[in-house]
Each structure stands twice: as structure tokens, then as C-alpha cells.
Amino acid sequence: EIQLQESGPGLVKPSQSLSLTCSVTGYTITSGYDWSWIRKFPGNKMEWMGYISYSGSTNYNPSLKSRISITRDTSKNQFFLQLNSVTTEDTATYYCARYQLGAYYFDYWGQGVMVTVSS
């Protein structure tokens, strides 16, 4: 069974970087598919943030392009989100998910991790 699990600090100070890990079990992230980060703000608005492909290429939401980086560690079957220069508006629940190739809907999601940006 494919499972994704997010982890990382629940509290980040403004202007610092937010770093999260998505650990994948049941499927090797280099075997196929694209691997995404999505966030859900208080009030329920959701935003697709970006993905890293099975080959290691990345694609980011233009709204975040200057602040976001998605990388991976294939030996640990993990991928990562780094969001720089955070503000209180980055407070959200962050999800990792698997993107269906060529269709771009998500067939597996993690449970999400809540991150609060506050001093």
C-alpha cells in the first residue's frame, strides 16, 4: 500500500525558511509519477505549490517561484519542501501527494502537517 507522510516543524518564525519532508512507502519515487506539495490555508483555500518528477525535474507555481524549492533523497525515498522568507500568510496545513502522470490529479495524499508562522 502506498503511503505518504509529512513531517517537519509545526512553528516557524517570520522571515525564516519552512522545511518539510515527505516520506513515501510502498512505491519508489524514481519509478514514476510526479510528487507534489499542496497547502490548505485557514478558511480552506488550497494552493498547489509544485512538484518534483520521478526524473528529478521540478515545476513550481509561479506565485511561489522565487521562494520555493523541492528536492529529494532517493536513498531514503523522500522528497522535501523548502519555502523561504515565510510570513504569517504561509500559515497552512501542508500536504504531499502523488500526481497521476499526464493527468495531474492526485491519487495518494499524506495526512498533512500544520505549520504556523509566528514570532
Partner 1 sequence: DIQMTQSPASLSASLGETVTIECRASEDIYNGLAWYQQKPGKSPQLLIYNANSLHTGVPSRFSGSGSGTQYSLKINSLQSEDVASYFCQQYYDYPDTFGAGTKLELK
Dist. CA 118–CA 65, nearest whole Å: 23
CB of 118 to partner 1, least distance (A): 23
CB closer to partner 1 out of 10 and 75: 10
CB 16 within 8 A of CB 90: no
CB of 95 to partner 1, least distance (A): 7
Q: Which residues sit at the interface with partner 1, rule CB under 8 A? A: 4, 43-48, 61-63, 95, 97, 100, 103-112
CB closer to partner 1 out of 16 and 21: 21
Instruction: Please measure the distance between the N-terminal and C-terminal CA atoms of the chain and give it in whole angstroms.
Output: 39
CB closer to partner 1 out of 54 and 109: 109
CB of 13 to partner 1, least distance (A): 27
Instruction: Give Cβ neighbours of residue 97 (< 8 Å, ≥ 6 apart).
Output: 4, 35, 36, 37, 38, 106, 108, 109, 110
